[in-house]
Amino acid sequence: MGFKQCVAAAGSCIAIGILSTFALQAYAASDPVIVEAAKKEGELALWTASDLQQVTKMGQQFEKKYPFLKVNVYRSGAASLQSKIITESLAGKHTWDVTNFSFETILGLIERKVVAKYKSPERNMLYEDMMDSEGYWTAIYPQPTILGYNTNHVKKNEVPRTYNDLLMPKWKGKKISIDNDGIGLLLGLSLGWGKERALSYLKQLAANEPIPGRGHSFRVQQIAAGEYFLTLAYANPIQAAKFQGAPVDWVVLEPAPVSLNAIMLAERAPHPNAGKLYIDFILSREGQETLKSLQRIPARKDVEPDPPGLIRGYKRIVLQPAKREEYAETDKLYKEIFGIR
């Protein structure tokens, strides 16, 4: 079976063919009735905002496990993906089975009734704060925001240990890198501290002249190169850089905001059983081990990240789905505080 990807880039759609093996292997612990029904469907329509390496690897392994299914992937940015889902729904089109992206703004999809409830049997092994009780979404991996630092410029005894430590005069003047789209920080601190205190803190942080930049991985590269001393970024690219030998290390400031990349099943999926199999697979131990190999932090309790401290041993605030209007307002506030246009 061929693994086909449709990647949205600059308004164009690129088909990428990847061969997969026909070798039959033992199926995951999915309902055999679902497996038999999926055989008749023959394919899966996956719409995703995940990176190409992850999508390719997971698709290949899924087809290897279920060689009677062909995975067709449409890949785009999260915002455009959500817009496409809503636009097609309004037009009465139903062409996707499963989607996954950062979940903060999926409330609109649930309210529009384009997402179905599905409680995978694999959910029993996930952290309790990484799924909704009704079954509309389930995390496939968490993304904690932590503090990374350049070990050549910041001595061990100088590393900030609290958010207030970032306000010290020694870190003033373009020494801290923050995210252009880091509203997760505002959302997380608002949940942990209350909105008024969170806004007050970020205004104080802005007075220390941090530099906004786009992309967590790119900003970690800048830290490794010594362009900045500190960065508030997702944990996985920081740990990946450290693992590769870059002069980078990290600490967790509490509470740590945690965004989730969540997976959902379409309410009117053309291949609902194939969709359920894919969700079961990506949440399974095998699927989570694969994500771990791709520098993702597993959402399963029995698949530990390396090191376990990437997700355990600290107070975390898991971000919750919000209405698009609330998300837009928070984004505006964050950008106003840090002068981002």
3-state secondary structure (DSSP) of residue 94:
coil
- Share above pLDDT 90 across residues of the chain, in percent, rounded to a whole number: 84
pLDDT value at 101 more than 50 = yes
The vertex-49 CA angle with 44 and 53, nearest 5°, equals: 80
DSSP line for 222-251: HHHTTS-SEEEEEHHHHHHHHHTT-SEEEE
Amino acid letter at 141? Y
Mean local confidence (pLDDT), 246-265 = 97
In this predicted model, what pLDDT tens digit does every residue of 41-98 receive, in sequence order?
999 999 999 998 999 999 999 999 999 999 999 999 888 999 999 999 999 999 999 9
Mean local confidence (pLDDT), 277-302 = 97
Instruction: Please state at what angle helix 183-193 crosses helix 324-338, rounded to 10 degrees.
Output: 100
Domains defined for the chain, CATH in brackets? 2-142+259-310 (3.40.190.10), 144-258+313-338 (3.40.190.10)
Tokens of 332: 């505006």
Cβ neighbours, 10 Å, residue 162: 11
Q: How many residues does the chain have?
A: 341
Task: Give me the sign of the Cα torsion angle 295, 300, 306, 308.
Answer: positive
Mean local confidence (pLDDT), 7-19 = 37
In this predicted model, what pLDDT tens digit does every residue of 132-161 receive, in sequence order?
999 999 999 999 999 999 999 999 999 999
Tokens of 315: 């107070």
pLDDT value at 195 more than 60 = yes
Predicted confidence at residue 119, as pLDDT, reads 97
Predicted confidence at residue 5, as pLDDT, reads 54
Q: What's the pTM value of the predicted model, to 2 decimals?
A: 0.89
182-186, 193-197, 326-330: which is most confident:
193-197
Cα atoms found within 13 Å of the Cα of residue 17, Cβ hemisphere only: 3
